[in-house]
Amino acid sequence: MDLSIAEATRAEFSHSTTYLNTANCGVLPGSAVAAVRELAEAAAAGIPAGFGDFDRVNRVRAAFARLVGVDVGRVAIGSAVSTHVGLIAASLPPGAEVLCPEGDFASVINPFLVRGDLKLRFAPLDALAEAVGPDTALVSLSAVQSSDGRIADLAAVRAATAAHGARMLVDATQAAGWLPFDASPYDFTVTGGYKWLLGGRGASYLTVSEEAQDTLTPLHAGWVAADSMWDATYGPMPRLADGARRFDETPAFLPYHAAEPSLALLERIGVEAVHAHDTALAARYRAGLARLGFEPVPGEAAIVSVPGLADRQPALEAAGVIASARAGSLRASFHLYTTEADVDRLLDALS
């Protein structure tokens, strides 16, 4: 493990397993656990600190904005990627064409599918840019494929959508936190906060370009979407918030209280350092797999999938090695708390 990462994480992680499953759910740092415990205990005591802290939520919003390189005014907070995607799906006119990669994660597909009056079209991930056409209204895709770690050529897709006047939605859930990711070129991005961002389920982030903000209706606008939310708790909303905050949902405070120290940890280390650490471990794993005669899905991501080995996952878990079975493959994922010894333990188990 890189010394700086080792120093930054030594006091934060105490899991007892060989945890290689961040693509499923990240391990909570100790500081995040403490923040959740503090809030829960205050709620149990019936004191105002247990109500949740909107200022903390806004600090999390700002930290996420810095992480993905956008102005804080472009960030809305919510509870789930599918809810954010559903808001975007609701904005499209009947008959609009939505282009998606084949086999992408369901949350970036199903909200368009259930509309029933949109035209969904699919293309292979590596041919997605070429598949954008004059009738395409929106391209919806993941920056990194959940099932096997393939990294999309976002620049090529963005050039194609710009050439055809289409909008672009990027799910950065399997990217932000380990892969340097700039959300600014895209109309919309969505990011679940409980994987590589090391928060809990219930924190999710939507970024909307200034131009695209006028194309969305804040259908789930509650009092938190108001310009002055404490003046909007009763009766019709006097005025919507400026910027993307008009698309906020009422936050689930426990995961957002967890998110503040988790994002602060990532900021202290730096995503570039996390990227170097995670991908070095993934490369070590790929090399070991080759020596064992296995053929992982090619790539350079922190997610490595080996087709045909999904049936090994239960035995690995019983041995304390935590990975995932996805789409017929054994999927391992490496993050800042993973060590070379963890990688070698998995390889020993597979051998």
Q: How far apart, in Å, are the Cα atoms of 27 and each of 5, 12, 175, 197, 343?
A: 15, 10, 16, 9, 17
Backbone angles phi, psi at 304, to 5 degrees: -130, 125
Instruction: Tell me the residue type at 135.
Output: D
For the entire predicted model, the pTM comes to 0.96
Ordered mean pLDDT values, 10 residues apiece, the chain (351 residues):
78 94 98 98 96 97 98 98 98 98 98 98 98 98 98 98 98 98 98 97 97 95 95 94 97 97 97 97 98 97 98 96 97 97 97 92
- The pLDDT score that the predictor gives to residue 6 is 85
pLDDT value of position 248:
97
- Residue 66 has what pLDDT? 98
Query: How deeply is 110 buried, as exposed, middle or buried, from its count of CB atoms within 10 A (0-12, 13-18, 19+)?
Result: middle
pLDDT score, position 4: 80
What distance in Å separates the CA atoms of residue 213 and residue 173, rounded to the nearest whole number?
A: 21
pLDDT score at 31: 97
**Quick one: pLDDT at residue 3?**
59
Give me the domains of the chain, ranges plus CATH numbers.
3-29+269-350 (3.90.1150.10), 44-267 (3.40.640.10)
